[in-house]
Amino acid sequence: MRIVAYCYREVGASTAPFLETLEEEMLASVERVYTDVALPTELEYRPERDRLLADLQANPADRVLVDNLAALGNNPEDIRHWVQALASAGAEVVTLTDDAVDLDSILQGANLASDQRRRRLREGHARSRLQALPPPGKPPYGYRRGQGRYLIDRATAPVVTAFVNEFLLYGSLRGAVRFIEGKLGKRISVSTGRRWLTHPVYRGDLQYQDGNVLRDTHAAIISREEAAQIDRLLRRNRPLPPRTAGAPRSLAGLVTCQSCGQPLTISKTAPRGQAKSYLYLRSSGCPRSPGCPAIPYDDALHRIVNQICQELPPAVAQFTARIPPGAPAPSTSLQGAIAAKEAAIAQLPTLEESGVLDAETAALRRYKLRGEISTLHQQLAQLPPVNLQELSQSVSIPQFWLDLSEAERRFFFREFIRNIQIVRQDKDWWIELVLVF
């Protein structure tokens, strides 16, 4: 039977006083004694304890003798960890001078202490939520902690602002990621960029672990108008291929050949000896033989502009006609619900002063009402523009579309068009639009 011992002693104490109480036969069987000296400034510094575990993993022992279990750690959780680590190495921990201590009791006490510590943390986090304080952990990039809330970090917030502006300008998440890496030297992943665009904290709101969101708790990096535009851009880019979201041409990712079912990509050709180049919509993966012929890009663009000018006003009129006569607009209903909940919040101080509600109940009710208001505001931001009918009339002029840049035209195309179908018959072809309405 292989036996080793571990001793944790005070400075100036004998090497292992508990070994003096052992019988000579057992003392002779102790192969090695691992001794750590207590350092008041570094309680966790125990190199011999670490060496003991490493040796046991390489050369297992049957027993580890200790004066008492307290020698293995500074708290029940630490003791439990080391007892289990030594047991997993195949060694039985045997105490010599503290027979009354039961290992199961120590482990149960460690579990109880851990549960109590987690409960105290949850209670502290709950109190912070009721006071609209930031959640624990490192502040988000672009912010710092101060004055009981998040404050804008002037050193890092401009990076987030530049990223958001680039995305709003070109509508490409990957393009915005490449932009801040090339211009500002900040490298982030696409998922991090998406979190910057969508996380409530950058819009001046706090989001807690329970999913509740409180509005206007700190200064925002992204304004409400920008946030609504970001949500629309992400929503309309979702069904598109990732690399076409920020493509330089406005028709990229929108056009499909109805004959072969393949998306049409934009190709550029330049005949020999000519400085001018030509753009075509081409089905690169066409399974037909012969394949579907390419279509001149400018020709398709003019036909699409003319057709959207004809089809958009009737589609919008039909969409708005679905609302029953006399029924309140969805925005009016949501705004009424928001006003009612804000009025309820305004009554809470009076109810608390009169004794109807205690302070904790009033704080909990205020927290829930603020979360419900945030949800209603989010629903309100997702509604179509109030002046949709007037807007459709304004964009139904061909010259409006032709005067736009490709980036601006791409923005409006994806605002109104879900898909563009190219229908072919012999050598002729025409356009079928699938509008978002």
Residue 339 inside a domain? The answer is: yes
| Among candidate residues 104, 416, 62, the one with its CA nearest the CA of residue 250 | 416
| Among candidate residues 255, 257, 265, 252, the one with its CA nearest the CA of residue 292 | 257
Alpha carbon distance, N-terminus to C-terminus of the chain: 81
| Among candidate residues 382, 404, 218, the one with its CA nearest the CA of residue 308 | 404
| Domain match, 90 and 187 both | no
Report the domain count for the chain: 4
User: Where residue 147 sits, what CATH number does that domain have?
Assistant: 3.90.1750.20
Residue 135 inside a domain? The answer is: no
Residue 118 inside a domain? The answer is: no
pLDDT at 187: 95
Number of other residues whose CB lies within 10 A of the CB of residue 401: 21
| Domain match, 283 and 410 both | yes
| Domain match, 229 and 191 both | yes
Query: What is the tens place of the pLDDT at every residue in 187-204?
Result: 999 999 999 999 999 999
113, 107 contact by CB (below 8 A): no
Residue 122 inside a domain? The answer is: no
pLDDT at 76: 74
Domain of 100? Answer: 3-109
pLDDT at 100: 47
pLDDT at 55: 92
Number of other residues whose CB lies within 10 A of the CB of residue 266: 18
Please tell me the distance from the alpha carbon of residue 310 to that of residue 326, in angstroms, as a whole number: 29
- pLDDT tens, N- to C-terminus, the chain (437 residues): 888 989 887 665 555 566 666 666 667 788 888 988 877 667 678 889 999 999 999 988 988 988 777 788 877 778 888 888 998 888 888 887 655 445 566 666 666 667 677 777 877 888 888 888 998 889 999 999 998 899 999 999 999 999 999 998 877 888 899 999 999 999 999 999 999 999 999 999 999 888 889 999 999 999 998 998 898 888 877 777 666 666 778 888 888 888 888 888 888 887 777 777 888 888 878 888 888 888 999 999 999 999 988 888 888 777 766 655 555 566 778 888 999 999 999 999 999 889 888 888 888 899 999 999 998 988 887 776 556 666 777 778 888 888 888 877 887 788 788 889 999 888 889 999 888 76
Query: What is the tens place of the pLDDT at every residue in 347-379?
Result: 999 998 898 888 888 888 999 999 999 989 888
Residue 334 inside a domain? The answer is: yes
| Among candidate residues 420, 423, 422, the one with its CA nearest the CA of residue 434 | 420
Chain centroid to CA 127: how far?
A: 24
| Domain match, 285 and 393 both | yes
SS3 label, residue 76: helix
Please tell me the distance from the alpha carbon of residue 193 to that of residue 245, in angstroms, as a whole number: 15
User: Where residue 81 sits, what CATH number does that domain have?
Assistant: 3.40.50.1390
